[in-house]
């Protein structure tokens, strides 16, 4: 259940830019982690 929820939330996020810009990649990773935390928190509530 959690994995399917996570996949759908990740699919809703913009795809990581093809650029190797470290700042953009770091921002994308932070957004992904944030979405993961929110999804897990929703599951636990």
How much is the pLDDT for 26?
87
Q: Is residue 5 packed enough to be buried (19+ CB in 10 Å), middle (13-18) or exposed (0-12)?
A: middle
| 4, 17, 28, 45 from 11: Cα distances, Å | 11, 14, 13, 22
**CA gap 16, 6 in Å, rounded:** 16
How much is the pLDDT for 15?
63
How much is the pLDDT for 24?
80
Reported as a single tens digit per residue, the pLDDT across 1-45 is 566 766 666 666 666 656 667 888 888 889 999 999 998 888 887
């Amino acid at each position: 259940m959690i994995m399917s929820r996570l996949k759908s939330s990740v699919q809703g996020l913009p795809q990581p830019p093809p650029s190797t810009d470290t700042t953009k990649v770091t921002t994308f990773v932070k957004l992904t982690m944030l979405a993961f935390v929110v999804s897990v928190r929703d599951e636990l509530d």
